[in-house]
Structure 1
Amino acid sequence: MADYLLLPAKDEAENLPWILERARAVGLIPVVCDDGSRGGTAEIARQHGAVVLVHEENLGLAQAIRTLLSFALAQGKPGDLFLIMDADGTMDPALFPEMHRALWKHHAEVVIASRFRGGGTQGLGLLRRFFSQMARTYFSPHIPHPLHSSR
């Protein structure tokens, strides 16, 4: 069984060393999809031991995630876990052990980390906070789950 960190990345060479170091520290195998970067993202990812998938031109976040999920489907074995997060440095791979425990404790198939858990919204602009809160308000009643934080 293996645990992978899937990172869609465009022009994230500056953020990748920290993220990849943190990922490896918690036992994650990093896989970076360089989505048409111009600034050495793929090279930095390779230097830090990541599996690198490359889009020669920018195809957008959705396609980068599709590429990473195709990798997961092709390479994954029963029992493997896949964590997807942004490569912009706003999320910490060190959260993986806590998410892993929640996954097994609650027999879940999906665990989603949120900046809003506990009321924190660090690193988000006003407009993004607004839209995120609207999405949370809309989806919360439709996704009953024991991990839902109390408000």
Structure 2
Amino acid sequence: MKKISIIIPAYNEAATIHLILNKIKEVILLNNLSKEIILVNDSSTDATEERIAEYIVANPEMGITYIKHDENKGKGAALSTGIKNATGDIVVIQDADLEYDPEEYNILLKPILEGHADVVYGSRFMGGKPHRILFFWHTIGNHFLTFTSNMFTNLNLTDMETCYKMFRSEIIKNINLRENRFGFEPEVTAKISRIKGIRIYEVGISYYGRTYAEGKKINWKDGFRALYCIMKYGFFKLK
């Protein structure tokens, strides 16, 4: 039986961490894939660790692998830690908030399980799925970063910045990841685009975005870092 590794980076997500874990618990995967949850606490300063400990005690059957960074390193660093510890055949990234719905793992899984894809991106902009209406300039920024990334990767993605990225394990484990924060998205996109024969698919997903008052963390500085990373890994092709 194949196994999917669900990598969850968490920083100050005490209010939602148990809710997203409940959603993952309820998902029935295609082909009866087994689930492996790797939860990386990026040195949270709220009650995230306490909520996780309580959840693990109450749900031992989920077999959650819990890892904690001694200091806050960023989302990219947490993802790198999770990927290194993943033992599944397929790896998917899941934010610890409620912006993305684990019920849609099966949408991402289908092209891989049918033998068509090595990597699948979940696009918030392909239509046909619920999409919370929020920030105009964030949307413009996402489209601009995706467009600029596509110029250097020669891909035709609609949502490079999406959280939902799914990989066959041997693909993502063989990529040297350098970025510690939100630069992970353009870095990994640039590096997979250079793999000979790689098959990348994109599927439409829902998006239940949140406001800054509700805990959203990415800001304009991360947008400039993403643009820098597009140039660094896309134009200059840093390995």
The question of a shared fold, defined as TM-score above 0.5 by the shorter chain, is answered with yes
Partner Cα separation in structure 1 for residue 13 and residue 123 of structure 2? 21
Residue number in structure 1 paired with 2:39:
32
Q: Structure 2 counterpart of 1:38, which letter?
A: T
Q: Which runs of 4+ in 1 moved over 4 A?
A: 144-150
Residue number in structure 2 paired with 1:71:
85
Q: Which segment is superposed worse, 111-120 or 140-149?
A: 140-149
Residue number in structure 1 paired with 2:173:
none
Partner Cα separation in structure 2 for residue 60 and residue 105 of structure 1? 34
Q: 1:48 aligns with which of 55, 59, 66?
A: 55
Deviations 1:35-59 (A, max 9, x none): 0101222332243333211012211
Deviations 1:66-102 (A, max 9, x none): 1111112xxx15xx21110221211111110111112
- The answer to whether the Cα contact below 8 Å between 1:8 and 1:32 also exists between their aligned partners in 2 is yes
Partner Cα separation in structure 2 for residue 34 and residue 26 of structure 1? 23
Q: Does 1:143 align with 2:155?
A: yes
Residue number in structure 2 paired with 1:105:
114
**Pair 82,99 (structure 1): closer, same or farther in 2 beyond 3 Å:** same
- The answer to whether the Cα contact below 8 Å between 1:23 and 1:29 also exists between their aligned partners in 2 is no
**Pair 10,123 (structure 1): closer, same or farther in 2 beyond 3 Å:** farther
TM-score when normalising by structure 2: 0.53
Structure 2 alignment gaps of length 5 or more: 29-34, 57-63, 157-198, 205-239
Q: Does 1:85 align with 2:94?
A: yes
Q: Structure 2 counterpart of 1:67, which letter?
A: T
Q: Which segment is superposed worse, 19-28 or 107-116?
A: 19-28
Q: Does 1:125 align with 2:135?
A: yes
Partner Cα separation in structure 2 for residue 133 and residue 123 of structure 1? 15
Q: Structure 2 counterpart of 1:136, which letter?
A: T
Partner Cα separation in structure 2 for residue 121 and residue 112 of structure 1? 16
TM-score when normalising by structure 1: 0.80
Partner Cα separation in structure 2 for residue 102 and residue 22 of structure 1? 22
Partner Cα separation in structure 2 for residue 123 and residue 106 of structure 1? 35
Residue number in structure 2 paired with 1:116:
125
Q: Which segment is superposed worse, 127-136 or 116-125?
A: 116-125
Partner Cα separation in structure 2 for residue 48 and residue 29 of structure 1? 15
Q: Structure 2 counterpart of 1:100, which letter?
A: L
**Identical positions, percent:** 24
**Pair 114,149 (structure 1): closer, same or farther in 2 beyond 3 Å:** closer
CA-based RMSD of the aligned residues comes to: 2.6
Partner Cα separation in structure 1 for residue 112 and residue 80 of structure 2? 23
Q: Structure 1 counterpart of 2:37, which letter?
A: P
